[in-house]
Amino acid sequence: MRHLRSEYVTTAVETGELDAAAAEKLCEAITARLSEAERESYCTDRIGQRSFLVALVTYRPEPDGPERYAVHTLDNNGSWFSDTADRAEADEHYEYEVRQLANCADPSMYAWWDRTDLDDLKQCGFHYELDVRADGNDTWTRVDAGSGKLGDLDERDEPRDYVDHEDEAEAIVRHALLDDERGYREARVVFYRDAERSNVITEQLVDVAEATA
């Protein structure tokens, strides 16, 4: 990777490969492509702004020049840029950056990234579907769907530093069915990584009476 801006590794400016103005121009070109990132992992703050980000984009340093692949990292120290002509190298660097930031997270946290495309990493952001069924009926009925974040139970419960999908499923059921008098026996909460609900994180079954007691 050619590092255009970094506090952690030697940059192309420091080696003399690029002057500062040229490197900054490339960073601006990469930034302009972030809305069309091909891969990304991110965290958001309480008002929805992205506070940590790793994104991989394709861009052209010159309008008629060859494509290059860039990785942009946003952390609490700044905004960093690297690029390469090799897509495989870019993917490897992207995944390295995603894992490094996850490894630096508070160990008490169940998950770090609100959204990540690395399936082996825990993800605290989720989309969900809530289905229920009553005694004597094996048919599931959809009663709720939405999104949220582990550890921040959307005012359904006291926020906790450590929470898993089982805790979150109980909170979702409690929020949706606390005053419901239709006699549902069991609830099923399916958690997904993505808004399209094509990538299941886990499925949790919840006893409605226990969750709403």
Could you tell me which residue, 96 or 212, shows the higher pLDDT? 96
Predicted pLDDT at 50: 85
> Cα 138 from chain centroid?
34
Tens digit of each residue's pLDDT (9 = 90 or more) over 94-106: 999 999 988 876 6
Residue 149 pLDDT exceeds 90? no
Task: Read off the pLDDT band of 112 (50, 70, 90).
Answer: confident
Predicted pLDDT at 91: 98
CA distances to 167, 172, 173 from 145, in Å: 17, 10, 11
- What is the pLDDT of the chain when averaged over all its residues? 88
Predicted pLDDT at 109: 56
Residue 46 pLDDT exceeds 80? no
Range 185-202 burial, b when 16+ CB lie within 10 A, else e: ebbbbbbbbeeeeeeebe
> Cα 191 from chain centroid?
14
For 66-92, what is the mean pLDDT? 97
Full-model pTM: 0.73
Percent of the chain with pLDDT over 90: 58
Beta bridge partners of 54: 41, 73
Tens digit of each residue's pLDDT (9 = 90 or more) over 186-203: 999 999 988 888 889 899
- Outline where the chain has alpha helix (H): 12-15, 20-31, 87-103, 165-177, 208-211
Lowest mean pLDDT among 54-58, 177-181, 185-189: 177-181
